[in-house]
Structure 1
Amino acid sequence: MYIEVEKGIHVFVEDINPGGQNNKTIFFVHGWPLNHNMFQYQYNVLPQHGIRCVCMDIRGNGQSDKPWGGYTFDRLADDIAVVLETLKLENITLLGFSVGGAITIRYMSRYKGHRVSKLALVDAVSPSFVKDPDSPYGVPREQADALINQMYVNLPVFLSGLSPSFFNRNLGNATNDWFVNMALDSASYALIKLLQVAANENVEKDLSQIQAPTAIFHGVHDQLIPYKSAELTNQRIKNSKLFPLTNSGHGAPICQADELNKLLIDFVNS
């Protein structure tokens, strides 16, 4: 289905197992440079346990509209708010992956956790993507700028080179091709703008505003958002618990799907 989040701009939303037996719902927010299909290993399993899975493509990505603007954390959090309101979702678990983690954190702060009973962060870009005094484990700004510049030059080559560092182990050429093809469903300018926002914004001040029980799932071998960043996020969200995923890099929903699924089922039902 498509939901209008502002005049003339629609985002794609998929609702899997809307008749979930135990009335538990996870709302998934994907990360850069992917779309909602990155969570296929969750969609295959969680509905079997009565969990309704609602997922959206962030504007500019996947099947959503691809406007030139509107890629700030505030605007993307507003998009989530419109979707939750339109679908009348209540007491959900809000799950954000990578940059989607930063966006869900901003939503929790900006909307005071409205409609959300629990927050799940998976390999989240938090507290910041770029290193600064309050978040010393991010990448140097020069590295972030180099990543952005590569997208202007040759996006397919850039994505092909990124894929192996996204995963902790060699999952084969087919998985790498799947990753690249999914990313190429996005507008190239949207990918650039999202990474620019991640490099220039942060959620450091948002973390202390989160009141909901929070589970932080993070790959200990993450090369993009170091595990120490997850430890820092854990320290700054009062009611949070950190779950290390010992066989995962940045792509935990794919690298370690079985364990993550079990942890999510336990968290949702706790």
Structure 2
Amino acid sequence: MGTFIQAVDGTKIYVEDVGSGQPVVFLHGWPANNNMFEYQKNLLVEEGYRYVGIDYRGYGKSDAPATGYDYKTMASDINEVIEQLKLTNVTLLGFSMGGGIALSYLLQYGDSKVSKLVLAGAAAPVFTQRDGYPYGMTKEEVDALIADTKQDRPSMLKGFGEIFFAKEHPEPLQQWFHGLSIAASSHGTIQSAIALRDEDLRGKLGDIKVDTLIIHGKKDQVCPFEFAEEMQKEIPHARLEVFEESGHGMLLDEQEKFNETLLSYVKGNQTV
């Protein structure tokens, strides 16, 4: 069922809460919503787990205030969901931008409620190129993406979708995925792109103590594979599962492998 959780500033955050048992909390990527995890939700509920999918402020069915799209505020929203739903022993999965938000949550609030972390195509430790970090887009490229969003958001999203996957997918599936992003607020899309451009978690990830699984597509054109290697260096208890045939959207590029890997990890198997 769907429910709304009130954030600290009064923003109503939509949560898809389905099933029972151990909770798996899903944090979506820019600029989609929790429905991008449809095929993981179906699997987990069938296996006896509780799917908790959060629409960030500005996305999906959540309120879209003018402010609050930085990682600190988004992490606060996640904390409110976990606290108000009284979730414990959580497996927290952050995809793309959701990976940065998941890490920010753990750095701010600790891991007392979280037992496992999955970073899937995560936009971390930093999304844009810096001195000593030659990976990802330049800040100028993100600025151009933001300018395109202000001018013609549907066309920007179409172009973004063209680099999202490494494999060809049926047109109806691509249109469905495109529709998830169209549903987002324009200012939320812009403001969180600014956060993606500017947030930097380097040097902090050594404080992540929870067991961590990094899943990353070798052909990722959005968050290059080097991101995964950098995260594995910094996070003490991280191991890396390489998806050789996947781009950024490994959830669909290698859907069966992704689901099997996730389910095995949630169940507690150490070999994935």
TM-score range, shorter chain: over 0.9
Displacement of 1:176 in angstroms is 2.3
Aligned match of 2:4: 2
Selected match of 1:228 from 223, 226, 229: 226
Cα distance change of structure 1 residues 206 and 114 upon mapping to structure 2, 3 Å threshold: farther
1: CA distance, partners of 2:132 / 2:118: 22
Aligned match of 2:109: 111
Aligned match of 2:198: 200
Selected match of 2:240 from 239, 242, 247: 242
Is 1:143 matched up with 2:145? no
2: CA distance, partners of 1:174 / 1:163: 13
Structure 1 vs Structure 2 CA RMSD: 1.1
Displacement of 1:59 in angstroms is 0.4
Aligned match of 1:160: 158
1: CA distance, partners of 2:53 / 2:112: 18
Q: Residue 115 of structure 2 aligns to a residue in which SS? A: strand
Displacement of 1:136 in angstroms is 2.4
Q: Residue 45 of structure 1 aligns to a residue in which SS? A: helix
Deviates further, 240-249 or 4-13: 4-13
TM-score scaled to structure 2, two decimals? 0.95
Aligned match of 1:11: 13
Is the CA contact 1:134–1:204 (under 8 Å) kept in the aligned structure 2?
Answer: no
Aligned match of 2:52: 54
What letter corresponds to residue 92 of structure 1 in structure 2?
V
Instruction: Give 5+ residue unaligned stretches, structure 2.
Output: none
Deviates further, 125-134 or 86-95: 125-134
Q: Within 5 A, what are the aligned runs for 1:30-49?
A: 30-49=28-47
Aligned match of 1:79: 77
Aligned match of 1:132: 130
Displacement of 1:129 in angstroms is 0.7
Is the CA contact 1:164–1:176 (under 8 Å) kept in the aligned structure 2?
Answer: no
Is 1:176 matched up with 2:174? yes
What letter corresponds to residue 110 of structure 2 in structure 1?
K
Q: Residue 261 of structure 2 aligns to a residue in which SS? A: helix
Cα distance change of structure 1 residues 227 and 29 upon mapping to structure 2, 3 Å threshold: same
What letter corresponds to residue 244 of structure 1 in structure 2?
V
1: CA distance, partners of 2:163 / 2:129: 19
Displacement of 1:134 in angstroms is 4.5
Q: Residue 7 of structure 2 aligns to a residue in which SS? A: strand
1:75-106: per-residue Cα shift (whole Å, max 9, x none)?
00000001000000011111100001000000
Displacement of 1:179 in angstroms is 2.0
Aligned match of 2:88: 90
1:177-218: per-residue Cα shift (whole Å, max 9, x none)?
112211111100100000111101122133111000000001
Deviates further, 139-148 or 72-81: 139-148
What letter corresponds to residue 232 of structure 2 in structure 1?
N
2: CA distance, partners of 1:25 / 1:193: 29
Q: Residue 126 of structure 1 aligns to a residue in which SS? A: coil
Cα distance change of structure 1 residues 25 and 174 upon mapping to structure 2, 3 Å threshold: same
Q: Percent identity?
A: 36
Is the CA contact 1:112–1:209 (under 8 Å) kept in the aligned structure 2?
Answer: no
TM-score scaled to structure 1, two decimals? 0.95
Q: Within 5 A, what are the aligned runs for 1:206-221?
A: 206-221=204-219
1:134-158: per-residue Cα shift (whole Å, max 9, x none)?
4321212221111111101100111
Is 1:120 matched up with 2:118? yes
Aligned length: 266
1:207-263: per-residue Cα shift (whole Å, max 9, x none)?
111000000001111001000111110111010000011121111122222111111
Is the CA contact 2:57–2:63 (under 8 Å) kept in the aligned structure 1?
Answer: yes
Q: Residue 262 of structure 1 aligns to a residue in which SS? A: helix
1: CA distance, partners of 2:81 / 2:132: 32
